[in-house]
Amino acid sequence: MIRNAISDGAANGFELIDPDLTAAASKGAGYAGSLNLSRDEARALGQSLGCDFYILGKVLVTRRVGQGEQHYYEALAGIFIVESRTGKLLDFSFLSEKSQDESEAAVNLRRSLMQKWRKLDDYPMIIAAALKKQMAQVESVSKPLPVVAMVIRDDEMGVTDTQPNFYNRLKPGYTEQADLAGITATVDLEAVFLEDGRVGDVEVIRWAGFGLDESAVSTVRLLKFKPAERDGKRLTIRGLVRYNFRRPLTQAAKPKAADPEEIERLRRSIRNVIDPPRKPWNNPELKQDRNPDD
């Protein structure tokens, strides 16, 4: 659906690669369909495809239950635009269409994809802006150097070396978009922990889309910590932060606490298993030979 919609609404200056070539190149790069790629994995896929940018996506048409147990269908699409040179996720878009009819929901989603691609302020402009940024980086010769950050591995630490000591443990929120699409993903961040106790630059090195990257970055920036030290001197270091996102149980799926009547019923059942009640013999012939109390 995504390829057809983009092809029908493609803007001038953009060309889609033949689908057979795309499939062969993806297979050659070992790509198995994941939408949760590290930048190295994304860069390798782009190099194999032989393009400047590529698009990945997830399409889902599912049945929902609304108010009053009314059912409807929701068609969802998550669109990833990836830069091959860096492996960065340039943009993620989430589209949703609802209808009482499954086919109509899918048709409406396809129409939305075509309209979004045609808009000058969306996908084509995002790619054009990335190209402009690339040229600016190549032409820039006086750009100030970034903060120099050390990387201290556990096996390299001396007696007087200490890693940052975090005062709080925060959990990033699971987004509504991820919940609707049923996403399980990992977001890896490379963050600079400054010597003054602040969080510096944060880069996403494994992206997931569906708002999870932004959730992870905003959470890292709230971390409070005692800076790393070497020989009693505070250091600015660079570290990896990983957040795992899993879909929480819905209210319908969560185990419910048993009410008092249910608890008592279970207790009686357990007693009956341990000490079964004595019942009279059902076979009249056996009544003559056996005592019902035996």
Do residues 187 and 204 make contact, with C-beta atoms less than 8 angstroms apart? yes
- Name the 3-class secondary structure at 105: helix
**pLDDT at residue 62 is higher than 90:** yes
DSSP-H helix ranges across 140-211: 176-181
Do residues 200 and 217 make contact, with C-beta atoms less than 8 angstroms apart? no
Report the C-alpha dihedral over residues 202, 35, 113, 107, rounded to 10 degrees.
-150
Q: Which domain holds residue 91?
A: 2-138
| Domain containing residue 183: CATH number | 3.30.2420.10
pLDDT of residue 180: 94
**Inside any domain, residue 277:** no
Give the helix, strand, coil percentages of the chain, each rounded to 5.
Answer: 35, 25, 40
Same domain, 72 and 123: yes
pTM for this predicted structure: 0.74
Q: Alpha carbon of 230 to those of 156, 191, 237: distances in Å?
A: 12, 19, 11
Same domain, 102 and 175: no
Domain boundary among 138, 169, 200: 138
What does the pLDDT look like over 173-185, one tens digit per residue? 999 999 999 999 9
**Inside any domain, residue 78:** yes
**Inside any domain, residue 279:** no
Q: Give the pLDDT band (50/70/90) at residue 264.
A: low
- Residue of higher predicted confidence among 152 and 25: 25
State both tokens at 76: 């969802």
Same domain, 134 and 165: no
Same domain, 193 and 88: no
Domain boundary among 138, 163, 180: 138
- Backbone conformation region of residue 44, classed left if phi is above 0, alpha if psi is from -120 to 50, else beta: alpha
Q: Give the pLDDT band (50/70/90) at residue 251.
A: very low
Cα distance between residue 104 and residue 61, in whole Å? 11
**Inside any domain, residue 284:** no
Choose from 12-16, 101-105, 118-122 the range with maximum mean pLDDT. 101-105
Rounded to 5 degrees, φ, ψ at 198 are: -105, 160
What percentage of residues in the chain have a pLDDT greater than 90?
45
**pLDDT at residue 107 is higher than 70:** yes
Do residues 1 and 110 make contact, with C-beta atoms less than 8 angstroms apart? yes
**Inside any domain, residue 286:** no
Cα distance between residue 18 and residue 235, in whole Å? 51
Same domain, 9 and 57: yes
Same domain, 85 and 166: no
What does the pLDDT look like over 210-231, one tens digit per residue? 999 999 999 999 999 999 998 8
- Residue of higher predicted confidence among 115 and 153: 115
**pLDDT at residue 282 is higher than 60:** no
- Write down the mean pLDDT value for the chain: 79
**Inside any domain, residue 74:** yes
- Name the 3-class secondary structure at 278: coil
What does the pLDDT look like over 156-175, one tens digit per residue? 555 557 888 999 889 999 99
Same domain, 34 and 75: yes
Same domain, 168 and 121: no
Number of domains in the chain: 2
Specify the DSSP class assigned to residue 14. Answer: -
